[in-house]
Amino acid sequence: MQMFFNRIRLAKRYTHNMVTASPRLQNLRSLPLKPFSEFLTDTHGRKHNYLRISITERCNLRCVYCMPEEGVELTPSEETLTSDEIIRIVELFASQGVTKIRLTGGEPTVRTDIVELVQSIKQVPGIKEICMTSNGLALHRKLPALIKNGGLTSLNLSLDTLVEGKFLLITRRNGLSAVLKSINKALELGVPKLKINVVIMKGVNEDELLNFVALARDNQVEVRFIEYMPFDGNKWSNNKMITYQDMLDNIRVTYPSISRIAHKPGDTAKIFKIPGFLGSIGFITSMTENFCSSCTRLRITNDGNLKTCLFGNDELDLKTLLRKGASEKRLLEAIGAAVKLKKASHAGLGDLENMPNRPMILIGG
């Protein structure tokens, strides 16, 4: 396979042991898996089978849309989820119908036990997909072990520019070559589902749209353009955002035959194909055309809170319930009550940017 980008010139403490299932939830493995659970079904009929878990708040980049310029105060290590608690949460949600787990951060690969954690999640009955979102900076070293024996099944890599100087501007760090090395490694290893997430910001990287589109020509990769979203401290403004429709119109000038393919239930992106391309192009349109009506996602923050909506500020302190020894019945009742409070859709423009919420790095990207 032709290597990716080969024609582009660049212009706490964690255990190393395999995480074991908690004795209290060990019995879940012997129970038959339910088709789905009332606890994970909201009042709008949405069934939540996808759980995103932030496994660290730490990151080796400082992306402008994710982390405030002044930085963030990290949660003390004793107040973050332990590896055993993460597995307990996965087992509990899997017993109720969750089949897909995504590990986020921060940057997941900064954890020393990331490989062991993935392999442990793989052992949980009912889990069919284990995905990860990474900035790719250190990923190439750990990727072979992460996908070994069918561990990691999907990978999203964040990359907002192909220009070295812009990379430093956006991430406040150097490292573009390392990210490209991780993408090359993912293609070489044949990661089943590889996606590149690109946050498009006016005056920063909108001139690179076509360069990113071209990456899908000869590679089985989905390049996904994301509308710039507001979070605490990222200085969002409507003037910095480029809409999905504007991006698509710009691409159509060069690729008039680009066309949308059928939407799958739970998809976050609108997916398009260009004739002759091996890969695809996607758009995440949270700001202009939300996909709330088909949302199947729940989130766990690294400090152990359940968020039913990325843009919501209601949270359930699941960690405290776990540490106080709550029964499975009590945990499910609390989760079910939180899910039932999930709104039909998040706030729109004009409200969303003024609503208190965590910085993205403290939610989990």
Quote the CA–CA distance of 335 and 178 in Å, as a whole number: 40
243-253 pLDDT tens trace: 999 999 999 99
Query: What's the pLDDT score for residue 24?
Result: 46
46-55 pLDDT tens trace: 999 999 999 9
Q: Are strands 297-300 and 280-284 parallel, antiparallel or unpaired?
A: unpaired
More confident residue, 216 or 13: 216
Rounded mean pLDDT, 105-109: 93
pLDDT confidence of 11, banded at 50, 70, 90? very low
Domain ranges in the chain? 34-362
Structure tokens belonging to residue 168: 């430093």
More confident residue, 183 or 362: 183
Q: Can you give the pTM of this predicted structure?
A: 0.86
- Residues of the chain above pLDDT 70, percent: 81
Kindly tell me the sign of the dihedral angle through the C-alpha atoms of 143, 148, 152, 154.
positive
Q: Which of 14-28, 121-135, 318-332 has the weakest average pLDDT?
A: 14-28
53-85 pLDDT tens trace: 999 988 888 777 777 766 678 899 999 999 999
Query: E strand or H helix at 198, and its extent?
Result: strand 193-200
| Residue 163: pLDDT over 90 | yes
Asked whether 36 and 330 are in contact (CB, 8 A), the reply is no
Backbone φ and ψ for 225, nearest 5 degrees, come out as -95, 130
For 172, residues 6+ apart whose C-beta sits below 8 A from its C-beta are: 61, 62, 63, 64
Query: What's the pLDDT score for residue 66?
Result: 73
CATH architecture for segment(s) 34-362: Alpha-Beta Barrel (3.20)
User: Which residue(s) pair with 129 in the sheet?
Assistant: 100
Helices within the chain (DSSP H only): 23-26, 83-94, 114-122, 139-147, 164-171, 176-189, 209-214, 244-254, 318-323, 328-340, 360-363
User: Helix, strand or coil for residue 295?
Assistant: coil
Peptide bond into 106 cis (omega under 30): yes
Asked whether 225 and 208 are in contact (CB, 8 A), the reply is no
